[in-house]
């Protein structure tokens, strides 16, 4: 099973700041990585797939990068609605498809 590790667990930032979240894979997954945003009490929402492709309707301030084992999600200028939980997920080859443990963005 491929283990996904996200860091940090919690990030305290201010609106308008630029922030980068990290995600690592225990083995190479090429660019088979997705990012999701989850607001507490809601279902997750797809932000990024293919490591760097924004999903439909996702604002341009969200960008993804990386390949193989190291990935990042950057939010260029935090808006109030961006304070949420963020998960990475690998979908390399066959199941199981695994998630990172999540990074919580909170208002500083």
Partner 1 sequence: EEQLVESGGAVVQPGGSLRLSCAASGFTFDDYPMHWVRQAPGKGLEWVSLISWDGSNTWYADSVRGRFTISRDNSRNFLYLEINSLRPEDTAVYYCAKGRLLSNWFDPWGQGTLVTVSS
Name the site residues for partner 1 (rule: CB under 8 A). 32, 34, 36, 38, 42-46, 49-50, 55, 87, 89, 91, 94-102
Q: Distance between CA atoms of 95 and 108, rounded to whole angstroms?
A: 38
The nearer residue to partner 1, 75 or 103, going by C-beta atoms, is 103
The nearer residue to partner 1, 61 or 102, going by C-beta atoms, is 102
Residue 24 C-beta: closest distance to partner 1, Å: 15
**β-strand pairing of 10-13 with 103-107:** parallel
Residue 43 C-beta: closest distance to partner 1, Å: 4
Taking a C-beta distance cutoff of 8 angstroms, is the pair 10, 64 a contact?
no
Q: Distance between CA atoms of 3 and 54, rounded to whole angstroms?
A: 24
């Amino acid at each position: 099973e491929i283990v996904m590790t996200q860091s940090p667990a919690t990030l305290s930032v201010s609106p308008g700041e630029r922030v980068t979240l990290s995600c690592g894979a225990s083995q190479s997954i090429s660019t088979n990585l997705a990012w999701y945003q989850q607001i507490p009490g809601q279902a997750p929402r797809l932000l990024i797939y293919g490591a760097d492709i924004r999903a439909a309707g996702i604002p341009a301030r969200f960008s993804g990068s990386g390949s193989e084992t190291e990935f990042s999600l950057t939010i260029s200028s935090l808006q109030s609605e961006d304070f949420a939980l963020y998960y990475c997920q690998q979908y390399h080859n066959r199941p199981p498809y695994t998630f990172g443990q999540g990074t919580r963005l909170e208002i500083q």
